[in-house]
Structure 1
Amino acid sequence: MHKKIGFLSFGHWRDVAGSQTRSASDALLQTIELAVAAEELGIDSANVRVHHFERQLAAPFPLLAAIGARTSRIEMGTGVVDMRYENPLYMAEEAAATDLISGGRLQLGVSRGSPETALRGAESFGYVPADGETVADHARQKIEIFLAAIDGKPVARTDPARTGGVSGGLAIQPQAPGLRQRIWWGAGTRVTAEWAGRIGMNLQSSTLLTEDTGVPFDQLQAEQIALYRQAFKDAGHAWEPRVSVSRSVLPITEEIDRIYFGREGDQDQVGLLEGVRSRFGRTYSGDPDRIADELAADEAVLAADTVLLTVPNQLGVQYNTRLLETIAKHVAPAIGWSPAVTPR
């Protein structure tokens, strides 16, 4: 299987010593510049996290559209949009417009959201689950409306008073051909991965699973992927889905790398997250050749077709470009990746 690789930026900014992203403007503009540099290295995708009420990237569509306008080949996506905060029809319009600007390169990741600082933050945006409905139910209901909208299905009716008595269905505009098959669900468990397979979305699996069976992280994630693919197949969808996993990969080739990352953990972590026993994936840090061997033995990396590499965005574009170049040259070939284009 030919692998794709991409970077995943959390888009942090802080006005503190050592930070190259002192403001929101820095974080946004540097993300665009890093996407341009990544495309020149032959890397396949530029992806951003989405968090509300934090000094992180929150409004992805203007940013992704800007990346699309500045590049010509690289995919751009999210990991992930929290559907609890979204109006699914307005989001469908934004997603379609962004996809058209980029020439059909949007790979949009969505989910029910992750733990956050805000107390019932989505309610501040005006979105309150109905009585007896969980926030997860509410998010999944929204994604079904969103998928119908980008699929061109009628989501509103004409006003007979303005159409000579004729009543009919209206789809959102614009429509972006092919976008429906480029939507990804960020699944934290095996159950939600199977749901994503049944409904017909691609699968994003990150460095966190909100369940733990006692097996190593990569094996649990590989099991999740297998269950997803079986559910997708059983549902009879007539296209080939994609699967991505995220990894923290920090090769150390210079003393500055050792200062920043020489003590990063190299084992899974298990802990309670919102009262649920969860498993966190390890960080791959150290000699590039050793990392390459370890990733080549990672069962979930082998099972996926796309690997998203988290980047320390506060260290700036130059540092992260060198990081991605090192991974591209010395690590990624071991998992079956080769540049999409000849690097400049």
Structure 2
Amino acid sequence: MQRFGTLSFGHYGPLGGGRELTAGDSLHQAIDLAQGMDELGVNGAYFRVHHFARQQAAPMPLLAAIAARTKNIEVGTGVIDMRYENPLYFAEEAAAVDLISDGRLALGVSRGSPESVVRGYEKFGYTGSEDPRGADIAREHFAEFLRAIEGVGIGEPDNNSPFSTGASGLQRIEPHSPGLRDRIWWGAGNSESAEWAGRMGVNLMSSTLLTEHKGLPFDELQAQQIDAFRAAWKDAGHPGTPRTSVSRSIFPITTAEENMYFGGRQDGDQVGVIDGMRSTFGKTYAAAPDVLVEQLLDDAAIRTADTLMLTIPSQLGVEFNLRMVESFAKYVAPALGWEPSNS
């Protein structure tokens, strides 16, 4: 494990006892937490994107704000649902954030997980899907997005316009950020989509849920997915080494408060049905740091991926989450091979 960061779902709403976490609170706390992690040398702050829910739905302003307030930490998503995106406008936003961050954007995209409304992407104006889950729309939008950030000419110049520059040939989307294409990730839920990502030449993001079940432990199934991705990358002839990330719910227990929240939460893998597919859900790790080290060293996917994303209980506030991340950075991550980015 070369890198680790946090994956926040950004939940907000009632906290009990008459307390309320507003959308504004959630955004400001995300910025404050990322600043604290940047000082600790943590490698990344990533955000889950959900529409029609009390979570982060428009991550680009948040990522830009974090980028402007930090120096080293990678900012990104895990993942943006491409069914909902205008690929060309999204390319403009992504390039702008990448330029603000001086090349620290790690943009995870995918078809997305099930939303809380029926075919919500159609309410955003994206209709005509022949797939019941809109996967065809997601991949079409993704292909156009990649072309745009690669700098491919898209718009024909109008030399009769008073704003004409006299340019010839198709014009690319602006701004353009060289190198952004190398920091795009596809969130794969199964081996087929992982292999597709490898052929496309983008990095791989794998979550705590896989939409397949082969009778294997979750970590071994996920490690197989990563192997399939790397083989597809190599077979496609792409240069260099792609990055791979996995997400885990990991809670180092070092205080009575942490034990109150997470003691006894450790469970095994689960199998269920999501989005109409038999799926495998990864287990939660919650234990003292020395126990976690032994368990995580035995996790096949963590051993093979270069980046680990910790899903965090963001609604518990900055201080609690920063303390938990610091415990992981001090007592667990070094044993997995990690070194802080500011060391």
Q: TM-score range by the shorter chain?
A: over 0.9
Name 2:87's counterpart in structure 1.
Answer: 88
The question of whether the paired residues in 2 share the 8 Å contact of 1:150 and 1:172 is answered with yes
How has the CA–CA distance of structure 1 residues 164 and 53 changed in structure 2, closer, same or farther, with 3 Å as cutoff?
Answer: closer
More deviation in 83-92 or 17-26? Answer: 17-26
Q: Deviations over 1:208-256 (max 9, x none)?
A: 0000100000000000000000000111112321000001001111111
The question of whether the paired residues in 1 share the 8 Å contact of 2:269 and 2:281 is answered with yes
- 2:232 matched to 1:231? yes
Which one-letter code corresponds to 1:46 in the other structure? A
Matches within 5 A, 1:200-219: 200-219=201-220
Please give the alpha-carbon distance, in whole angstroms, between the structure 1 residues aligned to 2:147 and 2:18: 42
Name 1:305's counterpart in structure 2.
Answer: 306
- 2:148 matched to 1:183? no
Matches within 5 A, 1:297-336: 297-336=298-337
Name 2:275's counterpart in structure 1.
Answer: 274
Give the total of aligned pairs. Answer: 341
The question of whether the paired residues in 1 share the 8 Å contact of 2:211 and 2:274 is answered with yes
Q: TM-score, normalised by structure 1?
A: 0.95
Name 1:247's counterpart in structure 2.
Answer: 248
The question of whether the paired residues in 2 share the 8 Å contact of 1:20 and 1:316 is answered with no
Deviation for aligned residue 1:281: 0.3
The question of whether the paired residues in 2 share the 8 Å contact of 1:68 and 1:102 is answered with yes
Name 2:48's counterpart in structure 1.
Answer: 49
Name 1:156's counterpart in structure 2.
Answer: 155
More deviation in 218-227 or 133-142? Answer: 133-142
Please give the alpha-carbon distance, in whole angstroms, between the structure 2 residues aligned to 1:268 and 1:222: 15
Q: Deviations over 1:56-101 (max 9, x none)?
A: 0110100000000000111000000000000000000000000101
The question of whether the paired residues in 1 share the 8 Å contact of 2:187 and 2:204 is answered with yes
Deviation for aligned residue 1:42: 1.0
Q: Deviations over 1:171-199 (max 9, x none)?
A: 00000110000000000000000000001
Cα RMSD, aligned residues only: 1.7
Aligned-pair identity (%): 56
Name 1:138's counterpart in structure 2.
Answer: 137
Please give the alpha-carbon distance, in whole angstroms, between the structure 1 residues aligned to 2:294 and 2:132: 46
Please give the alpha-carbon distance, in whole angstroms, between the structure 1 residues aligned to 2:3 and 2:283: 21
Q: Deviations over 1:279-334 (max 9, x none)?
A: 00000001111111110111000110000001100000000010001101111112
Please give the alpha-carbon distance, in whole angstroms, between the structure 2 residues aligned to 1:43 and 1:19: 34
Name 1:78's counterpart in structure 2.
Answer: 77
Q: TM-score, normalised by structure 2?
A: 0.96
How has the CA–CA distance of structure 1 residues 49 and 100 changed in structure 2, closer, same or farther, with 3 Å as cutoff?
Answer: same
Secondary structure (helix, strand or coil) at the match of 1:53 reads coil
The question of whether the paired residues in 1 share the 8 Å contact of 2:130 and 2:136 is answered with no
Please give the alpha-carbon distance, in whole angstroms, between the structure 1 residues aligned to 2:30 and 2:224: 33
The question of whether the paired residues in 2 share the 8 Å contact of 1:188 and 1:205 is answered with yes
- 2:217 matched to 1:220? no
Please give the alpha-carbon distance, in whole angstroms, between the structure 1 residues aligned to 2:33 and 2:131: 44
How has the CA–CA distance of structure 1 residues 19 and 64 changed in structure 2, closer, same or farther, with 3 Å as cutoff?
Answer: farther
The question of whether the paired residues in 2 share the 8 Å contact of 1:21 and 1:314 is answered with no
Please give the alpha-carbon distance, in whole angstroms, between the structure 2 residues aligned to 1:167 and 1:253: 63
How has the CA–CA distance of structure 1 residues 143 and 21 changed in structure 2, closer, same or farther, with 3 Å as cutoff?
Answer: farther
Please give the alpha-carbon distance, in whole angstroms, between the structure 2 residues aligned to 1:167 and 1:54: 45
Please give the alpha-carbon distance, in whole angstroms, between the structure 1 residues aligned to 2:102 and 2:274: 39
The question of whether the paired residues in 2 share the 8 Å contact of 1:19 and 1:315 is answered with no
Which one-letter code corresponds to 1:43 in the other structure? V
Deviation for aligned residue 1:15: 2.5
Q: Structure 2: state its 5+ residue gaps.
A: none
Which one-letter code corresponds to 2:122 in the other structure? E
Please give the alpha-carbon distance, in whole angstroms, between the structure 2 residues aligned to 1:18 and 1:57: 24
Please give the alpha-carbon distance, in whole angstroms, between the structure 1 residues aligned to 2:276 and 2:233: 30
**Structure 1 stretches of 4+ moved >4 Å:** 18-21, 130-134, 163-167
Please give the alpha-carbon distance, in whole angstroms, between the structure 2 residues aligned to 1:269 and 1:180: 35
Please give the alpha-carbon distance, in whole angstroms, between the structure 2 residues aligned to 1:134 and 1:281: 23
Please give the alpha-carbon distance, in whole angstroms, between the structure 2 residues aligned to 1:164 and 1:182: 31
Deviation for aligned residue 1:159: 2.6
Secondary structure (helix, strand or coil) at the match of 1:157 reads coil
- 2:96 matched to 1:101? no
Name 1:35's counterpart in structure 2.
Answer: 34
- 2:290 matched to 1:289? yes
Q: Structure 1: state its 5+ residue gaps.
A: none
Name 1:256's counterpart in structure 2.
Answer: 257
The question of whether the paired residues in 1 share the 8 Å contact of 2:119 and 2:133 is answered with no
Matches within 5 A, 1:110-121: 110-121=109-120
Secondary structure (helix, strand or coil) at the match of 1:68 reads helix
More deviation in 133-142 or 16-25? Answer: 16-25
